[in-house]
Chain A
Amino acid sequence: MKWYIRSVYTPTVGALWNNREIFARITAHLRKNSNPPDDEIERLLSLIRVFLIGSRTRYVQCEHFLDLRTFQEHAVAFAEAVDESIRSLINEVRATDAEPFDAVIGVSSVGQLLPGIADRLATGLGQRVKSNALLLDLSNGGCTASSRALQLASTLDGQHRHVLIAVVEPTSTLADPLSLDRPNWQGVCTFGDGTAGIWLSTDPDGALAELGSIDSSHRGDADLIRWDYSSSYYRFGVSDFEAFDRKVRTGILGALGEIDWVDTKDSLWAVHPAGMMLLLSVAKRIGLDRSRLEPSIRHFRTFSNMSSASILHILRDLLEQAQSGQPIRWLSMGAGFHVIYGHCTKL
């Protein structure tokens, strides 16, 4: 059965913060609230400067994330950000002529909540979601979660003709503001908040693109990217901070040795913006020159790494610029360690 991309929804949520602003806030916060020797704080701030070098921006849904202290404060911030994202997605879906959905898949890498994302979205969309629709949330998928949802949706049978995937990634609610753990701050500095949706259909009328196969590989290094835990919540963690770059690059290249991926000169590419180093080094090794990476770099400079929402934002940009018949390919990577390659063809 063929699947088609009917629409991609990419509302922006939260407030726009640049690197200078977030660095100033973190600096004031750490100097005021941390107890270790000053030189330890100053070394951490220098590392944070490395993570925040340059003119990148991101959207922040939880602007008071440096004040989060308790589980309740983190969980409430997450739920409020999810609701903001769902409202913005509902507005975009209502602005299109979407058919009633047979399935809604909610996606988030960050937290848990009840009722879930799909249930909240279905309630908000009212008649646009069938009362007997399949509603489920896909969590714990890291930065490949939206691609996992696409992979899942494309295996559904003919009973599900219209599928909505909704991604909410309020990563700011995950920050552990009192931790001096380096991966925690790598996460705070690398991620931005974001949301996205995609309408898949078996009906080609009005479709933007035909979906091709989606292939994945997990590399058997499940701890490489993971949650660590404080007394109040969980936070971004990695198993080997100093060797992180090398292990991620090795994981991606190993996966690409297994996945049946191709490139053609006319292909447009979306690469998950895990970070500038990973973007450029991986692209270099798979033979993508800078110009073909530009949509992903542009996204990262504006939105930072919105976890699994990023790839859908870049995909939407590429669908707008692609010519009829032009292939669009994407590569996402994240916790697991997990890599997904997908492609579609603009109609």
Chain B
Amino acid sequence: MIERQAVLDAIREFVTAHFPAVSVEHLETLRAGDVIQQSLELVELVLHLEERLGVEININELGENLVIQNFGGLADELVKSEARKK
């Protein structure tokens, strides 16, 4: 199991490091597709989450959520995805 807050903390860490101009004050409401513009950035975010959370993430499973959800919704999807694996 992973905690939603742990996912959000890891996302916040990534966004702060890679997109310093983006305010993370309301991280949960930011749309992932608005922040991430390149495939390399998307992959780096996923690899960062894998490392920080100790899980393996299937990009295809998250699918379109990676661009249409905000980070709060993406965190929910990840928590649900990990729960399904148990």
What is the interface of chain A, defined by CB distance below 8 A to chain B? 43-44, 46-47, 49-50, 53-56, 182, 186, 241-246, 249, 276-277, 280-281, 284, 297
Contacts and interface: CB of A to CB of B under 8 A. Distances in A.
B72 to A, nearest CB: 17
A277 B43 contact: yes
A236 B75 CA distance: 31
Contacts of A297: 40
Interface string B26-50: 0000000100111111111011001
B37 A284 contact: no
A230 B45 CA distance: 36
Contacts of A43: 64
A50 B77 CA distance: 16
Contact of A276 (B37, B40, B68): B40
B67 A244 contact: no
Contacts of B43: 276-277, 280-281
A245 B67 contact: no
A23 to B, nearest CB: 12
B51 to A, nearest CB: 9
Interface in B5-44: 33, 36-44
User: Which of A46, A50, A54, A182 is the most central at the interface, judged by chain B CB atoms within 10 Å of its CB?
Assistant: A50
Contacts of A56: 39
Contacts of A246: 56, 58
B1 interface: no
A55 B68 CA distance: 19
A49 B36 contact: no
22 contacts: A46-B68, A47-B64, A49-B64, A50-B63, A50-B67, A53-B36, A53-B37, A53-B39, A53-B67, A54-B37, A54-B38, A54-B40, A54-B41, A182-B60, A242-B58, A242-B63, A246-B56, A246-B58, A276-B39, A277-B59, A280-B44, A280-B47
Nearest to A45: B64
Contacts, number: 67
User: Which of B38, B46, B61, B64 is the most central at the interface, judged by chain A CB atoms within 10 Å of its CB?
Assistant: B64
B66 interface: yes
A40 B66 CA distance: 17
Interface residues of B, number: 24
A284 B47 contact: yes
Contact of A277 (B33, B46, B61): B46
Contact of A244 (B40, B57, B58): B58
Contacts of B44: 280
Given A50-B66, A50-B67, A277-B46, A241 B39 contact: no
A265 B28 CA distance: 42
B59 A245 contact: yes
Contacts of A276: 39-40, 42-43
Contacts of A244: 58, 60
A243 B60 CA distance: 7
User: Which of B39, B40, B58 is the most central at the interface, judged by chain A CB atoms within 10 Å of its CB?
Assistant: B39
Contacts of B61: 242-243
Contacts of B39: 53-54, 56, 276
Contacts of B47: 280-281, 284
Given A43-B64, A280-B47, A49 B59 contact: no
A280 B59 CA distance: 13
A183 B28 CA distance: 30
A246 B85 CA distance: 13
Nearest to A297: B40
A46 B68 CA distance: 7
Given A46-B67, A53-B42, 7 more contacts: A47-B63, A50-B42, A53-B38, A54-B37, A54-B40, A242-B58, A243-B60
Given A277-B46, A281-B47, A46 B37 contact: no
Contacts of B42: 50, 53-54, 276
Given A246-B56, A276-B40, A50 B46 contact: no
Contacts of B68: 46
